[in-house]
């Protein structure tokens, strides 16, 4: 399973943008980049996924480097409700998701 | 209306007992999964069923036996519970095997004493 590297923790101010980085230098050509988050005492929640192009949805944006060896999850305006563990996961379509340690995001009011 | 529901939410039991955790999804998804989150918070996949057929069986002790009576249900039965089985168990589903956008349940916290 391809590995990802994320910072252990990050802090953000409420209503400011947050950029969560993820390094995946051993990514293969068929690996998708998936992001999930886990709020306290809840199950993981799907955020976004992409392959090569940047992606936007109602929750976040995903910026993927041209060489695909890194990506950034962008929360455009952090709220207290966004405080969670964010997981960056590589996986081919049809394969299982393997979760790493993730980044703990703290949001200050 | 809960998309993926697990019961019970909490389960405290003694070593050596046998227990079951139930999972149901009302999303019409074909694939369901069991994940285990240990005390260090790592999420590890245990099993995956696609249309009632077992497709992923990670290195899990055979005391753990999943059962899928239909594609909307995936139950987890655990025999001879051990202290190390204490964890939070999450059920999840997806439209088809490996497709993005898993929906997870809220978890079952199992404590073995």
**Residue A81, C-beta contacts closer than 8 angstroms, at least 6 positions apart:** A39
> Is A49 in contact with B100 (Cβ distance < 8 A)?
yes
* B9 contact A CB<8A: no
What pLDDT is stored for residue A1 in this prediction? 59
Mean pLDDT of chain B: 93
- Under 8 Å between Cβ of B35 and B46: yes
Q: pLDDT (tens digit, 9 = 90+) per residue, A33-82?
A: 999 999 999 999 999 999 999 999 999 999 999 999 999 999 999 999 99
> Is A44 in contact with B43 (Cβ distance < 8 A)?
yes
* B63 contact A CB<8A: no
Mean predicted confidence (pLDDT) in B47-69 = 90
> How much of chain B, in percent, has pLDDT values that exceed 70?
98
A12 band by pLDDT with thresholds 50, 70 and 90: very high
> Is B42 in contact with A99 (Cβ distance < 8 A)?
yes
What pLDDT is stored for residue A2 in this prediction? 61
- Rounded (5°) CA angle B86-A84-A80: 135
Give CA–CA dist A15/A109, Å, rounded.
9
Q: Tell how strand B31-37 and strand B87-94 pair up.
A: antiparallel
Residues in chain B within 8 Å Cβ distance of A37 = none
What pLDDT is stored for residue A94 in this prediction? 64
Among A41, A93, A97, beta carbon nearest to B102: A97
Smallest Cα distance from A42 to chain B, Å: 5
> How much of chain A, in percent, has pLDDT values that exceed 70?
97
A10 band by pLDDT with thresholds 50, 70 and 90: very high
Cα end-to-end distance, chain A, whole Å: 38
What pLDDT is stored for residue B57 in this prediction? 83
Q: Which residue has the tokens 């998936």?
A: A34
Mean predicted confidence (pLDDT) in B39-57 = 88
């Amino acid at each position: 399973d391809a590995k990802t590297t994320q910072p252990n923790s990050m802090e953000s101010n409420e209503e400011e943008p947050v950029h969560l980085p993820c390094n995946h230098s051993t990514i293969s050509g068929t690996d998708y980049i998936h992001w999930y988050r886990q709020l306290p005492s809840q199950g993981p929640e799907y955020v976004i996924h992409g392959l090569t192009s940047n992606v936007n949805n109602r929750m976040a944006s995903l910026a993927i480097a041209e060489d695909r060896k890194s990506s950034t999850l962008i929360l455009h305006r952090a709220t207290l409700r966004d405080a969670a563990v964010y997981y960056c996961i590589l996986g081919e379509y049809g394969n299982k998701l393997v979760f790493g340690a993730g980044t703990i995001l703290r949001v200050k009011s | 209306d809960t998309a993926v529901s697990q019961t019970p939410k909490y389960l405290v039991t003694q070593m050596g007992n046998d227990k079951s955790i139930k999972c149901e999804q009302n999303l019409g998804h074909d694939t369901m999964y069991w994940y285990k989150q240990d005390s260090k918070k790592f999420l590890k996949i245990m099993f995956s069923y696609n249309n009632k057929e077992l497709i992923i069986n990670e290195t899990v002790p055979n005391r753990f036996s999943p059962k899928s009576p239909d594609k909307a249900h995936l139950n987890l039965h655990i025999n001879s519970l051990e202290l190390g089985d204490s964890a939070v168990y999450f059920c999840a589903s997806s439209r088809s095997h490996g497709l993005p956008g898993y929906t997870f349940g809220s978890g079952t916290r199992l404590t073995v004493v």
